[in-house]
Chains A and B, each alone.
Chain A
Amino acid sequence: MCLLALLTKKINSNIDMVIIYVNFFVNFNECKIKFMNKINYLILLLITSICFAQNKNEKDSLLTLARNSKYDTVRVDCYNKLFFGEVFSDVKVSKKYFEAMFLIAKQKKLNYAYAKAFNAKGVYFDMLGKLDSAYISYNTAIHYSKKAKLLSTEGSAYNNLGLLDWNKGDFYKALKNYNKSLELFEKIENINYQGNTLSNIGLIYDEIDEPKKAEFYLNKALNIRKKAKDDYGLSVSYVNLGKLYEKQEKLDIAIQNYEKAIVIKRKINDDLGIAIAKYNMSNSLMKLNKLDKALSVLNDAEKICKENEAESNIVENVYSSLCQVYLLKNDLKKAKEYSSKLYFITQKNKDLERLSVYYKIESEIALKEKNFQKAYIYFNLKDSLDKITSGLEIKKAINLYEAKYQSEKKEKQLLLAKNELIEKELLIKKKNTQFQILILISLALITIGYLIYRQQKLKNKQQEQEFQLKSAIKEIEAQNNLHEQRLSISRDLHDNIGAQLTFVISSVDNLKFGNQIDDNKIVNQLTKISDFTKATIIELRDTIWAMNKDEFSFEDLRSRIFNFIEKAKIAKEDIGFEFKIDEKLAEIKLSSIVGINIYRTIQESINNAIKYSNGTKISVDVKSFHDKIQIEVKDNGNGFDIEDIDFGNGLNNMKKRIEEIDGVFEINTLVNKGTIISILI
């Protein structure tokens, strides 16, 4: 009856009929109507088909749209809706709708249409009891759904296949199909479908005695339904969990779950659902020996069933439970009354399982009445019936163990595959590590090789450089030694020259003053030779002076020039000499070559002025000029025309000496205007 409420609700909304069908089967299972014989199954479908029936207007408008729409997918959807509207009321009529879908699929070569048509055809065969054909149709629907990438239809087809397998007792296959269906619903993020599939998986695990897994999936379904705000689904989940906990003897928790289910079912006006929850709750209460409460709950359930004309299997359950309560309360009259009612319904439904329950109850009543013969007869009847049904149970048990075996086998295979995968990963990891280490070693070796090569190259280069420098040092040292030897020889030579020249002077002076020489010519000649020799000696002394000094200070130079001017003053008394030197220059240091060249040039300039200028005044002015030294030797003599005269050895030597020390030599002169010799160093 809970199914009926859902279907009524769904019909009112515009949800695809395929979805309704999926939900129909899902809830069908959740109501625990499983392994029932085909007759019961069809009865239930006939009852529920009323709810699927579309009203005439809706049907007509869908038909018009299906015929006239220019969109093929819309047409297919319309036929699909029409099919699901018809299939539960008139299976044969519904055939034309999926045939219409096939026509569109063939004409347009549309996988979308094929997928939906085959899924509908599967339901059609399922309804006719042709399970093998249904099985093929669902698989073909899956094939076309994959082609059309129609995940919802593929998921529905897997769900329908799962239902078929579950009903056949092939739990392993059912689980496999439900898992595939769940995977697809997760992909399209449809949490309503996910909730239903998870719930079914939980129920299968419950059936194959895997309570932990069952609890896990049922709780998962509960949470998803909470998230989806699916009140109906939520109430069903609470009932399912209640049953699970009841099985585990967690009776208080079971009762709490049933109570929660009842609250929700009241909210959504699902009266039959309340009846089912109450009936289940009464079982837990009986186990807790709360017989009065159990009776009250069952009376409520009976009342609801009567008011809503509940389907027989729910009433059967309520009656059998009422019998049990009355038996426990020792109210045999009432127990008999409900036992008769139960018998009437079981006869009507030809439900062997419930008939066995009836026989058991009758046997127990007879025992309480101490009518042992009657009790014996009912017990035998029950036993015989159980033996008949046990054949079915054995088959069911075989399937159960087969499912467990397959499941364990698969798990073992999975574990083995996982181990293999882990081993392979480890091997790859090891190889990768080895490869990385080898790369590191190679890099290190290359770097070491390069460093050794570089070290060797560096050593060679350094040795070459050091060798070059040492060679240069040796060369310079050799040159210096040579210069030193030459200087040593020249020093000896100068000493000899000095002695010889002194001898010449003294000889000439002896000749001149020791003998009475009247001839002026000879006297002049001897004087000339003596002067010449003296000049050479002076020059030699100057040279020795310059050679013995590492460097000159301007002060040294000044005293030397001053001495020279003093001598010149004595020689030429008619000429006025003036010598000026800037005091700032006193600290300046000069190299010996610079010093001797400046000295010689000044000496030569003064000599020239004395000899050729006929001037009365000669001045020497040394001053600082823009970080340089400027020397001017000036006379007030005749001067000369610079273009007319030919530069003699004296002037050329002066110029050469100054240029040798990177200086500038200039002569400024005019006839009768005197001469200025200017040196800039």
Chain B
Amino acid sequence: MAFIMIYILTLLILVLIVLLIFLLFQNSKIEREHLCNIRKLEEIISSLHKKQLYLNERVAISSDYDLNYKNKLKNLSEEIVELQNVFISIINKKN
């Protein structure tokens, strides 16, 4: 009886050891997969970040132009208004 019990317990230990090794292997596999995923995501983030910087630059250039354009158009408007005034004063003189 005792021998059978020892036999069963030994068998149980063996099963547990196998389970233990399996779990350790699984753990290390999960860690590897996770690291791989993280690396891929980081690469994606890095490329997206580069693209973002590139787009930001373009937006900055565009915004800069828009600002200048507004100023220039304001000046142009003033010149046109002045031209209109010249025309009005000429018309008035003719009348």
Contacts and interface: CB of A to CB of B under 8 A. Distances in A.
Contact of A543 (B27, B44, B48, B65): B65
B65 A487 contact: no
Contact of B83 (A465, A480, A522, A535): A522
A543 B67 CA distance: 12
Given A473-B41, A591-B57, A521 B20 contact: no
A359 B51 CA distance: 139
A219 to B, nearest CB: 45
B59 A529 contact: no
Contacts of A521: 86
B69 A487 contact: no
A543 B62 contact: yes
A448 B23 contact: yes
Contact of B20 (A438, A444, A473): A444
Given A529-B79, A532-B76, A437 B6 contact: yes
Given A466-B37, A473-B45, A476-B52, A540 B69 contact: yes
Contacts of A536: 69, 72-73, 76
Nearest to B38: A465
Contact of A484 (B23, B24, B55, B75): B55
A466 B65 contact: no
A539 B2 contact: no
Contacts of A543: 61-62, 64-65
Contacts, number: 142
Contact of B59 (A462, A476, A487, A540): A487
B26 A483 contact: no
Most buried by A among B9, B65, B80: B65
Contact of A487 (B6, B62, B86): B62
B9 A441 contact: yes
A448 B6 CA distance: 21
A501 B26 CA distance: 68
Interface in A128-153: none
Interface size class of A (residues with CB under 8 A): 35 or more
A470 to B, nearest CB: 7
Contact of A462 (B10, B16, B30, B45): B30
B43 to A, nearest CB: 11
A399 B82 CA distance: 159
B13 A476 contact: no
Interface in B6-41: 6, 9-10, 12-13, 16-17, 19-20, 23-24, 26-27, 30-31, 34, 37-38, 41
**Chain B's interface: helix, strand, loop or mixed, by majority?**
helix
A525 B19 contact: no
A28 B60 CA distance: 129
Contacts of A546: 61
Contacts of A644: none
B6 A434 contact: yes
Contacts of A560: none
B12 A547 contact: no
B86 A519 contact: yes
Contacts of B45: 469, 472-473, 476
A528 B26 CA distance: 78
Contacts of A454: 27
B75 to A, nearest CB: 6
A644 to B, nearest CB: 26
Given A497-B69, A540-B69, A451 B17 contact: no
A483 B56 contact: yes
Given A444-B20, A480-B48, A484-B55, A522 B75 contact: no
A440 interface: yes
Interface in B48-95: 48-49, 51-52, 54-62, 64-66, 68-69, 72-73, 75-76, 79-80, 82-83, 86-87, 90
Interface of B: 2, 5-6, 9-10, 12-13, 16-17, 19-20, 23-24, 26-27, 30-31, 34, 37-38, 41-42, 44-45, 48-49, 51-52, 54-62, 64-66, 68-69, 72-73, 75-76, 79-80, 82-83, 86-87, 90
Given A444-B13, A444-B20, 18 more contacts: A434-B9, A444-B17, A451-B23, A451-B27, A459-B30, A466-B41, A476-B45, A480-B48, A480-B55, A487-B58, A532-B72, A532-B75, A536-B73, A540-B65, A540-B69, A543-B64, A592-B58, A593-B61
20 contacts: A433-B6, A434-B6, A437-B9, A437-B10, A438-B9, A444-B16, A455-B23, A462-B30, A466-B41, A476-B45, A483-B55, A483-B56, A483-B58, A487-B62, A494-B65, A525-B79, A533-B76, A539-B65, A543-B64, A592-B61
5 smallest beta-carbon distances between A and B, as pairs? A483-B55, A444-B16, A469-B41, A593-B57, A543-B65
